[in-house]
Structure 1
Amino acid sequence: MKHWTQLVRSQEFRAFLSAPRKLLMLDYDGTLAPFSVERHKAAPYVGVRSHLETLCRASDWRVVIVSGRLATEVSSLLGLPKGLEVFGSHGAERLDPGGTISRAPLPPAWERALADARFWAEGQAVTQQLEEKHGCLALHVRGLTPPKAAELLAAATHAFGHMAQAAGAEVLPFDGGVELRCHACNKRHAVERLLAEERARHGQGLAVAYLGDDLTDEDAFSALGGEGLAVLVARRGRSSLARHLLRPPGELLEFLNACALSASPPAVATAPGDGPEEGGEAHGLRGRLVVVSNRLPVTLARKPSGWEVQAGAGGLVTALAPVLRDRGGLWIGSCGQGGEAEASAPFARFSKEAGYRLLPVELTGEEHRDYYEGFSNEIIWPLFHDFQSRCNFEPRYWNCYQEVNRKFARTVAANSREDDYVWVHDYHLMHVAGFLREQGARRSCGFFLHIPFPAPDIFLKLPWRRQVLSALLEHQLVGFQTLADRRNFIRCLQVLHPRAEVWGRGCVVTAGVEEKSVRIGCFPIGIDYAAFAKLAASPAMAAQARAIRQAYRDRTILLGVDRLDYSKGVPQRLRALRSALARHPELRERVCHVQVLVPSREGVGEYQELKNEIERLVTQINGEFTVPGWVPIHHLYRNLSRQELVAYYLASDVALVTPLRDGMNLVAKEYCASNVTETGALVLSEFAGAAAQFQRLGALLVNPYDTEEVADAIKTACCLSRPDRRMRMHKLRENVRRSNVSGWVDSFLDAAFSRHLDDFAPIETVQFHEKPPRRAGKTWPRGH
């Protein structure tokens, strides 16, 4: 019997979801709803209704409930979505989507048997345990003590047996009781009828599945005759005709979610010119990937000849561009500089050349100030990085943030279709999915947070905490960098929604909140390993690295590469370096620290103060320790090209990556990928997301707030032997190679779609699994 993890990746499941017509039949009690002693309170699991509603609206699905209950009772408990039909009383009655009930004829002797059964129940004083249905009489023993239940079941089985012989009926046990049933009341008949109807209408393009939990569902499994998916919904496997096992409720919801994501939208007649402006239907494409981020993956610059659009760099662009291009994809974002309207022609040219469409969202100066600089960077950024004292909870920022998210949502709604998948990135746009729903645009949405998610005691300080959390819950899948971030999110969810439940194990779990089910996963982002490794292995880079080392007289080079931001911990790192030089005099004149600081938000006073503090510390430390021919710190305040950066990575002996808090920190991974000689060492903050991957692989983990610990780690890294360095760096590089950026995209989309990942492919075109060639020749001498 296949479990969910095997089923979801099987060709059988993919074939089922990709069939042009699907028939999904489901039991109710124990399958879609937990058993309840008070049967009228057996509500479906959280999220079931929404998934069934999606399937019922789809043009390629037929969903039928096959239950032992009365059809009207199932309808009432489920809040019957439009288009859903029910076979009740084990198939003896049928409630069609229009609300009409039809019932199978019963033999005349049934009324006599029913009267005898009632008489027997009165004599046993168990009439309250009886449930009368069309052609069925069930005796329930749930809630009784085991001895009492066993005694009553034995007596009822014996008494009902005599009545069944006279009425041409049968006595069958079920999980929690025993039932007297006419032969017409059998789930086998319902399944056979449904199969016959669908085959007559749709021929050979039909795929079927039946989900059930108890003994009465074995008749339905038998009726499938080995065709389709026979799925047992149970906590543990048992002897069954079913070939697959789903554990409720988490794996059941995963199954329904995969079905809902595969569903085609309802057939709607559209007038000429309706729908998205470009791509999509015009090209015969379905199910595009729509990426939504604050910034587009391009730069917009005004030249004497007009606006010019140039491709951006970075792992995200490298990973997503082939996926978008192959599926006629769309990327929505702003350029952050204005002028998008004037640059429409260059955007169109770039889109044509790139093979996927860029759609800019133009922001006013006020919107950029209050939404981006205000709410995003004066509230969410410091709060999520554990700097709540730096937050400016200005209500004006919140209002503008919502309006800009609405603007993005309107753009998405106007330029996408129901079968597109919308992948929203980062904290700037947490409300897009919610506003899409508010605007009546039904889209499957996923969200990935690139920064950390704070613990409840920090997140709850946000005045709009409930609104932000509710907005994230509008996505079908919410992704985080680390398990710690996912754990913090779940804890916040449970604080603000005490009745929320979480099911599942592993990297992706399912949360049930009110009537929603949301998948929550951990997807550590990677880098384009092959690009960095290939560039670092080139002769040109070797020459540049050699020149850098010669300029520093072959001393041990310590490297720090950071954007100007208080979360990067640059002042703390400089103080730790001062401590290392003071406590370990043998490091003096033998090490040089190169601090690359990338300009950021220079117009913000707080960032200017940080820049001044860093420059003051550099001056003080250099003034304290400099001797003729040696300056301990070399400070570079500018952007470096990738070639320059890789040259420094390759030339450096030790990378100091010590942020106070970071979602992942890709500098650590870039350094490892570029270290083709495998002779470098990595000092890494415990509070960087990368620490979760690197902690057992050879990185020297430190608490960046502990100056002496960082100082000692610097000394240790400088004194590592060459074999120790090679062993540590080899492990780190192998991890970076395996978990590259294309693997990150692969894992997120696989979790979002199950089989749909193939629809966005070929993702293999950007997977880099080959190990770059080692550079031949003598390695550079080290200064320790």
Structure 2
Amino acid sequence: MSRLIVVSNRVAVPQAGRAKAAGGLAVAINSALRERGGVWFGWSGHVSETPSLTPEVTTSNNIDYCVTDLSPDDLQEYYHGFANRVLWPLMHYRVDLAEFSRADLSGYMRVNEEFAEHVSRFLKPDDVVWIHDYHLMPLAKFLRERGHRNKIGFFLHIPFPSLEIIQALPHHLEVSAALTQYDLVGVQTENDRENLARYFALLGGREIDGDHLFEFPDRQVRIGAFPVGIETEVFARCARRISRSSFVKEVRESMSGRSLVIGVDRLDYSKGIPERMDAFERFLAANEDWHNRVTYLQITPKSRSEVQEYADMEHQINAKTGQVNGDYGEAIWTPIRYINRSYSRTALAGLYRMADVGLVTPLRDGMNLVAKEYVAAQDPADPGVLILSQFAGAAFELGDGALLVNPHEAEAVAAALKRALEMPLDERRRRHAGMMKIVEENDIHRWAARFLSALSAGDASRQPASLAKKAGSRGGSDASSGGGVSRHISFPAA
């Protein structure tokens, strides 16, 4: 089996005395790398005035974790600048928030080229390369320029926007058009895949088999929809275990028999938290009989507080929380509990399990794994109800079981809250069972196996086109098992 080289913006390097990565992408990557042997390369998370030309390598469980520092200019231009103040808002349809500068674009391309230079030093001809997310879209271009003909795949974890939006990206022919240098480009949903297909056609790509295989002058590129999953079995088991803990018991006692609505989101304008609070206020205004019978818990760790847009949003949410609690609260009841701190995945699993409603209403999201975690955490005998934005990638898989809403329509979200809180047990069980089947079958390990199988085979058509829509047509080839290969990694002297 070919060695696997993974490149991402950040690397989950194992550290003595610290718990292993808790979930998500790190779980899938570590599992694939342990099976095949290989390297995980990316930014260390540290900033240095003079980054070393030789990355730091940590070897553990058949994996070389290889990291490099960024310079202060790299951090500002590549990461804070172009990646997070241009690509992030634009890919989430917030063109109005994109702040383009030539210096930031130059830094973004420079760091991608430096990453390519590092990877080139240890890349072998038969290695398979898997590159992740919007930070590194041009990376394959720089690897190809260095003569590498390896199979290189790319997975975009955030949405790929419509043709009109992506063309609003300044110098898009240097950035997003570089996706034509991959053998396989994976996206979250069929909608993302269709958007990318239209963009490839604009770039002159010719679809040659009617199944999203595009021919360009120097290569053929396959586009595939590979919706990301979670560690379903592990998360469900964790939720069952923590539900008996003193932490969950104390939270439950503090509810005094009231129903619980929960939202868990990083502080970001794409998550729709202010709109969600408006909807909860509309619900309280229209349903006086629910006063003092329901509490909305919003857990929102702060994010990018140094960016003005995020600071403004934090102020807006704090003000809205105070206004709603002031207008509707009582001495014995606080309608909204708003918390700006992180909880462990274990603690969140327990909170999800006890919540009657999971409120997941982003304005735009690539997938949103909170929706899948909420489903996995439920007690099948007495499950809660998922209210889900139609603009979350998870809606393509869970739409038959969740209550789908337009997060911009406060009255509709308020009506969905009432319906969810009053939904009969039989309907709750039926809806949950359908969603749980999907979440179990398309877990994080199946996702990684399907992508790597398609990349290694050069045939993304192995994945069923309707996976993201109907549970009955999910499937795909699992990667075969195999032993590792030589672990030694070397770099030429700086």
* TM-score (norm. length: structure 1): 0.57
| Alignment-derived partner of residue 673 in structure 1 | 376
Question: Alpha-carbon deviation of 1:322?
Answer: 2.5
Please give the alpha-carbon distance, in whole angstroms, between the structure 1 residues aligned to 2:132 and 2:54.
Answer: 26
Question: Alpha-carbon deviation of 1:517?
Answer: 1.1
Please give the alpha-carbon distance, in whole angstroms, between the structure 2 residues aligned to 1:743 and 1:322.
Answer: 11
Amino acid at match of 1:338: V
Question: Alpha-carbon deviation of 1:439?
Answer: 1.8
1:596 aligns with 2:299: yes
User: Conserved in 1, the CA contact under 8 Å of 2:50 and 2:71?
Assistant: no
Please give the alpha-carbon distance, in whole angstroms, between the structure 2 residues aligned to 1:608 and 1:759.
Answer: 44
Please give the alpha-carbon distance, in whole angstroms, between the structure 2 residues aligned to 1:419 and 1:346.
Answer: 22
1:337 aligns with 2:52: no
The correspondence of residues 533-682 of structure 1 with structure 2, limited to 5 A, is 533-538=236-241, 541=244, 543-677=246-380, 678-682=382-386
Q: Deviations over 1:33-92 (max 9, x none)?
A: xxxxxxxxxxxxxxxxxxxxxxxxxxxxxxxxxxxxxxxxxxxxxxxxxxxxxxxxxxxx
| Alignment-derived partner of residue 431 in structure 1 | 138
Please give the alpha-carbon distance, in whole angstroms, between the structure 1 residues aligned to 2:336 and 2:201.
Answer: 48
Please give the alpha-carbon distance, in whole angstroms, between the structure 2 residues aligned to 1:762 and 1:667.
Answer: 32
User: Conserved in 2, the CA contact under 8 Å of 1:546 and 1:651?
Assistant: no
The correspondence of residues 311-322 of structure 1 with structure 2, limited to 5 A, is 311-322=20-31
| Alignment-derived partner of residue 109 in structure 2 | 402
Amino acid at match of 2:38: G
Amino acid at match of 1:586: D
Amino acid at match of 1:442: R
1:687 aligns with 2:409: no
User: Conserved in 2, the CA contact under 8 Å of 1:340 and 1:362?
Assistant: no
Q: 1:437 to 1:515 in 2, by over 3 A?
A: closer
Please give the alpha-carbon distance, in whole angstroms, between the structure 2 residues aligned to 1:754 and 1:705.
Answer: 42
Q: 1:299 to 1:386 in 2, by over 3 A?
A: farther
User: Conserved in 2, the CA contact under 8 Å of 1:327 and 1:760?
Assistant: no
Please give the alpha-carbon distance, in whole angstroms, between the structure 2 residues aligned to 1:329 and 1:469.
Answer: 27
Match of 2:12 among 276, 294, 297: 297
Question: Alpha-carbon deviation of 1:342?
Answer: 10
Q: 1:661 to 1:713 in 2, by over 3 A?
A: same
Amino acid at match of 1:414: R
SS at match of 1:362: strand
| Alignment-derived partner of residue 481 in structure 2 | 761
| Alignment-derived partner of residue 468 in structure 1 | 175
Amino acid at match of 1:608: A
Q: Figure out how many residues of one structure are paired with residues of the other and give that number.
A: 465
User: Conserved in 2, the CA contact under 8 Å of 1:447 and 1:477?
Assistant: yes
Question: Alpha-carbon deviation of 1:722?
Answer: 1.4
User: Conserved in 1, the CA contact under 8 Å of 2:48 and 2:72?
Assistant: no
User: Conserved in 2, the CA contact under 8 Å of 1:622 and 1:631?
Assistant: yes
Question: Alpha-carbon deviation of 1:578?
Answer: 0.5
| Alignment-derived partner of residue 351 in structure 1 | 59
| Alignment-derived partner of residue 16 in structure 1 | none
1:328 aligns with 2:328: no
- Among all aligned residue pairs of Structure 1 and Structure 2, give the percentage whose two residues are the same amino acid: 39
Q: 1:610 to 1:341 in 2, by over 3 A?
A: same
Please give the alpha-carbon distance, in whole angstroms, between the structure 2 residues aligned to 1:346 and 1:376.
Answer: 22
1:375 aligns with 2:82: yes
Larger gyration radius, structure 1 or structure 2: 1
| Alignment-derived partner of residue 722 in structure 1 | 425
Question: Alpha-carbon deviation of 1:539?
Answer: 6.0
User: Conserved in 2, the CA contact under 8 Å of 1:298 and 1:309?
Assistant: no
Question: Alpha-carbon deviation of 1:464?
Answer: 1.3
User: Conserved in 2, the CA contact under 8 Å of 1:527 and 1:740?
Assistant: yes
1:707 aligns with 2:410: yes
Question: Alpha-carbon deviation of 1:711?
Answer: 0.7
SS at match of 2:223: strand
User: Conserved in 1, the CA contact under 8 Å of 2:243 and 2:350?
Assistant: no
Match of 2:148 among 414, 419, 441: 441
Question: Alpha-carbon deviation of 1:375?
Answer: 0.5
| Alignment-derived partner of residue 485 in structure 1 | 192
| Alignment-derived partner of residue 503 in structure 1 | 209
Amino acid at match of 2:209: W
User: Conserved in 2, the CA contact under 8 Å of 1:308 and 1:343?
Assistant: no
Please give the alpha-carbon distance, in whole angstroms, between the structure 2 residues aligned to 1:730 and 1:340.
Answer: 54
| Alignment-derived partner of residue 751 in structure 1 | 454
Question: Alpha-carbon deviation of 1:299?
Answer: 7.6
Q: Deviations over 1:429-448 (max 9, x none)?
A: 01111001112233220000
| Alignment-derived partner of residue 199 in structure 1 | none
Please give the alpha-carbon distance, in whole angstroms, between the structure 1 residues aligned to 2:53 and 2:349.
Answer: 35
SS at match of 2:199: helix
**Which protein has greater RCO, CA pairs closer than 8 Å, 6+ apart?**
2
Question: Alpha-carbon deviation of 1:541?
Answer: 4.1
SS at match of 1:293: strand
User: Conserved in 1, the CA contact under 8 Å of 2:242 and 2:347?
Assistant: no
User: Conserved in 2, the CA contact under 8 Å of 1:529 and 1:740?
Assistant: yes
Question: Alpha-carbon deviation of 1:346?
Answer: 13
SS at match of 1:503: coil
Structure 1, unaligned stretches of length 5 or more? Answer: 1-285, 301-306, 764-784
SS at match of 2:300: strand
Please give the alpha-carbon distance, in whole angstroms, between the structure 2 residues aligned to 1:759 and 1:597.
Answer: 37
Please give the alpha-carbon distance, in whole angstroms, between the structure 2 residues aligned to 1:742 and 1:560.
Answer: 26
| Alignment-derived partner of residue 456 in structure 1 | 163
Amino acid at match of 1:693: E
User: Conserved in 2, the CA contact under 8 Å of 1:535 and 1:541?
Assistant: no
Please give the alpha-carbon distance, in whole angstroms, between the structure 2 residues aligned to 1:311 and 1:491.
Answer: 40
After superposition, the CA RMSD in angstroms is 2.5
Please give the alpha-carbon distance, in whole angstroms, between the structure 1 residues aligned to 2:478 and 2:392.
Answer: 32
SS at match of 1:422: strand
Question: Alpha-carbon deviation of 1:369?
Answer: 1.0
User: Conserved in 1, the CA contact under 8 Å of 2:151 and 2:455?
Assistant: no
SS at match of 1:336: strand
Amino acid at match of 1:367: D
Q: 1:439 to 1:515 in 2, by over 3 A?
A: closer
Q: Deviations over 1:213-243 (max 9, x none)?
A: xxxxxxxxxxxxxxxxxxxxxxxxxxxxxxx
Amino acid at match of 2:85: E
Question: Alpha-carbon deviation of 1:762?
Answer: 5.2
| Alignment-derived partner of residue 235 in structure 2 | 532
Question: Alpha-carbon deviation of 1:344?
Answer: 12
Question: Alpha-carbon deviation of 1:358?
Answer: 0.4
| Alignment-derived partner of residue 464 in structure 2 | none
Q: 1:731 to 1:603 in 2, by over 3 A?
A: same
Q: Deviations over 1:239-290 (max 9, x none)?
A: xxxxxxxxxxxxxxxxxxxxxxxxxxxxxxxxxxxxxxxxxxxxxxx62100
Amino acid at match of 1:440: G
Question: Alpha-carbon deviation of 1:565?
Answer: 0.3
User: Conserved in 2, the CA contact under 8 Å of 1:646 and 1:674?
Assistant: yes
SS at match of 1:537: helix
* TM-score (norm. length: structure 2): 0.89
Q: Deviations over 1:584-606 (max 9, x none)?
A: 21221111000000121112121
Amino acid at match of 1:393: F
Q: 1:541 to 1:598 in 2, by over 3 A?
A: farther
Question: Alpha-carbon deviation of 1:500?
Answer: 2.6
| Alignment-derived partner of residue 96 in structure 2 | 389
Amino acid at match of 2:206: A
SS at match of 2:125: coil
Q: 1:340 to 1:549 in 2, by over 3 A?
A: farther
Please give the alpha-carbon distance, in whole angstroms, between the structure 2 residues aligned to 1:328 and 1:404.
Answer: 26
Please give the alpha-carbon distance, in whole angstroms, between the structure 2 residues aligned to 1:393 and 1:364.
Answer: 20
Q: Deviations over 1:590-640 (max 9, x none)?
A: 110000001211121211111111111000000010012111000110111
